[in-house]
Amino acid sequence: MNRRVVITGYGAITPIGESDDQIVRHLTMGISGVKKLKDDGFLSGFIQSGVCGGIDYPRTYSFERNHRKTMGPVAFMACEAARRAIEQSGLDKGFLTSGRMGVAFGSTHGSPLVQREIMKIYFQEGKNGSTAVNAADYLKSMAHTTAVNITKMFGISGRVISPCTACTTSSQSIGFGYETIRFGMQDAMVCGGADEYDTSTVAVFDNLRACSTRFNDTPHLTPRPFDSLRDGLVVGEGAGALVLESLEHAKNRGAIILGEVVGFASNNNGGDMILPNLAGITQTLTLALADAETDSRDVDFISAHATATRQGDIVEAMAIHKVYGDAPRVTALKSYMGHTIAACGAIETIITLMMMEHGFIPATLNLENVDEACAMINHTRQLVHEKINVASVQNFAFGGVNTALILKKFN
pLDDT digits (tens, 9 = 90+) for 204-258: 999 999 999 999 999 999 999 999 999 999 999 999 999 999 999 999 999 999 9
Tell me which CATH homologous superfamily contains domain 5-408: Thiolase/Chalcone synthase (3.40.47.10)
Q: Report which secondary-structure segment, H or E, holds 286.
A: helix 278-292
Give how far Cα 210 sits from Cα of 175, 226, 233, 245, 309, Å: 27, 15, 6, 38, 6
Region 145-158: mean pLDDT is 97
Q: What pLDDT score does 257 carry?
A: 98
Please give the pLDDT value at position 129. Answer: 55
Other Cβ atoms less than 10 A from the Cβ of 361: the count is 23
pLDDT > 70? residue 58: no
Cite the DSSP H helix spans in 168-263: 169-182, 199-207, 247-252
Tens-place pLDDT, residues 248-298: 999 999 999 999 999 999 999 998 899 999 999 999 999 999 999 999 999
Q: What is the distance between the alpha carbons of residues 343 and 364, in angstroms, rounded to a whole number?
A: 19
Mean pLDDT of the residues in the chain: 94
Model confidence at 86, pLDDT cuts 50, 70, 90, reads: very high
DSSP 197-212: --HHHHHHHHHTT-B-
pLDDT the model gives residue 118: 83
CA pair distance 392, 295, nearest whole angstrom? 12
Close Cβ partners of 116 (under 8 Å, ≥ 6 residues apart): 42, 198, 200
* Interval 182-200 mean pLDDT: 96
Which whole number is the average pLDDT over 31-40?
A: 90
> Residue 60: pLDDT band by 50, 70, 90 thresholds?
low
Largest CA distance in the chain: 64
Confidence of residue 317 (pLDDT cuts 50, 70, 90): very high
pTM for the whole structure: 0.97
pLDDT at 41: 76
| Whole-number pLDDT of residue 182 | 98
Kindly tell me if the per-residue pLDDT of 59 is higher than 60.
no
φ, ψ for residue 6, nearest 5 deg: -120, 165
Q: At residue 66, does pLDDT exceed 70?
A: yes
390-400 pLDDT, tens digit per residue, is 999 999 999 99
Instruction: Output the pLDDT for position 120.
Output: 79
What pLDDT is stored for residue 89 in this prediction?
98
Helix and strand element counts for the chain (H, E): 14, 13
What pLDDT shows up at residue 65? 83
In this prediction, residue 124 carries a pLDDT of 76
pLDDT tens-digit profile of 364-391?
A: 999 999 999 999 999 999 999 999 999 9
**pLDDT at position 56 over 80:** no
CA distance to 66, 88, 381, per residue, from 60 (Å): 12, 21, 39
Q: pLDDT-based confidence at 64, cuts 50/70/90?
A: confident
Residue pair 191/104 in contact by the 8 Å Cβ criterion: yes
pLDDT for 291: 98
In the predicted model, is pLDDT for residue 130 greater than 90?
A: no
Q: Give me the percent of the chain exceeding a pLDDT of 70.
A: 97
Residues 12/13/18/23 CA torsion (nearest 10 deg)? -80
Which pLDDT score, from 0 to 100, does residue 392 have?
98
User: CA 174, CA 167: separation in Å to the nearest integer?
Assistant: 13
